[in-house]
Each structure stands twice: as C-alpha cells, then as structure tokens.
Amino acid sequence: MGCGARTSRARLQQVLLARNPGWERPVAALAPDGDADLDGVDFSAFDVPGCEACGGMLKPDVVFYGESVPRARVEAAVAHLQRSDAMLVVGSSLMVWSGFRFARMAAEAGLPLAALNLGRTRADGLLSLKLEADCVDVLAGLRGRATTL
C-alpha cells in the first residue's frame, strides 16, 4: 500500500505457505460469493507477510467498496465499450455505480445488454436478455464451445 510494488498471487501464495506450514489445507468452506466463515479458527500464529520491496502492508489489487476505480481503468473500460457490439454482465448485481455506469452507457449507445446473474440487477430495466443462473455453472458449460465470428 505504501510503495506501489506489485506481487503476483502465485508468488504471494509461495511466501504464505513458506511462512505458514500446515495452512495449505482449507480451514473453511467457500461461500458462493468467495467469502468464508472463519469463526473459531485460531490465527494467532499465522505469519502475515509484508511487501517484499518495503516491508509495508499488502493489499489485493482490487477496488473495494467505497474506493474509487482508478481513472485509467475507467477510461480503458469506456474505450473497450465504445468498440463493442454488445455488453454481457456476469455475476454482478450492478448495485454500485462503478459497474452500473457501464450498463447505462451501453444502453444509451443502443447496444444489446445481457446479464447472467442470480437475483435482481440494477440494470434489469435496461436488459435485452437476462439469465438467472449460476455463472460458474453456465460458463463451465460454455468452455470450449465459443466461436469467434
């Protein structure tokens, strides 16, 4: 978080396992949203590594709720959207503006907008197609079946 250095997830996994032998096995089942219930798990001996460059605190390279999406990332997404023929939303309710704005842009540009999501999305009124299904199941079923036109 302090120096801007980046480490791959694979490299971080190696460091975590080297510093915490015995933690390679799962300690909780994963929920569909990727969370895990860790109540009752003792982390007191877990050795959390710092940044390999400066020793500072690590943070995943993702945008958390309440954070702003970096301007360059937004501009790149808009540029991709402007070259697109349609937009497919996968596994998002679009309840936060950072995602919903792209659905609105697509709709305003007259692009077909589709969503694959369990439950309501903020863009339901804008969708041309909606599949209420588990995205992992649907995408796994499409593996190897996509055709470039």
Does residue 41 interact with Zn ion by CB under 5 A? no
Are 90 and 139 contacting, i.e. CB atoms less than 8 angstroms apart? yes
14-22, 24-32, 46-54, 87-95 -> range binding Zn ion (CB under 5 A): 46-54
Does residue 58 interact with Zn ion by CB under 5 A? no
Does residue 54 interact with Zn ion by CB under 5 A? yes
Does residue 56 interact with Zn ion by CB under 5 A? yes
Amino acid (one-letter) located at 88: L
CB 52, min distance to Zn ion, A: 7
- DSSP strand E in the chain: where? 87-90, 113-116, 129-131
Does residue 53 interact with Zn ion by CB under 5 A? yes
Are 15 and 70 contacting, i.e. CB atoms less than 8 angstroms apart? no
21-29, 37-45, 55-63, 108-116 -> range binding Zn ion (CB under 5 A): 55-63
44-52, 63-71, 77-85, 91-99 -> range binding Zn ion (CB under 5 A): 44-52
- Residue from 3, 63, 78, 79 in contact with Zn ion (CB under 5 A): 3
Are 60 and 95 contacting, i.e. CB atoms less than 8 angstroms apart? no
CB 48, min distance to Zn ion, A: 14
Instruction: Give SS3 for 15.
Output: helix
By C-beta, is 58 or 96 nearer to Zn ion?
Answer: 58
Are 39 and 13 contacting, i.e. CB atoms less than 8 angstroms apart? no
Are 119 and 95 contacting, i.e. CB atoms less than 8 angstroms apart? no
Nearest Cα to 74, choosing from 96, 98, 56, 54? Answer: 98
By C-beta, is 6 or 80 nearer to Zn ion?
Answer: 6
Tell me how far apart the terminal alpha carbons of the chain are, to the nearest angstrom.
Answer: 42
| Contacting residues toward Zn ion, per CB under 5 A | 3, 5, 51, 53-54, 56
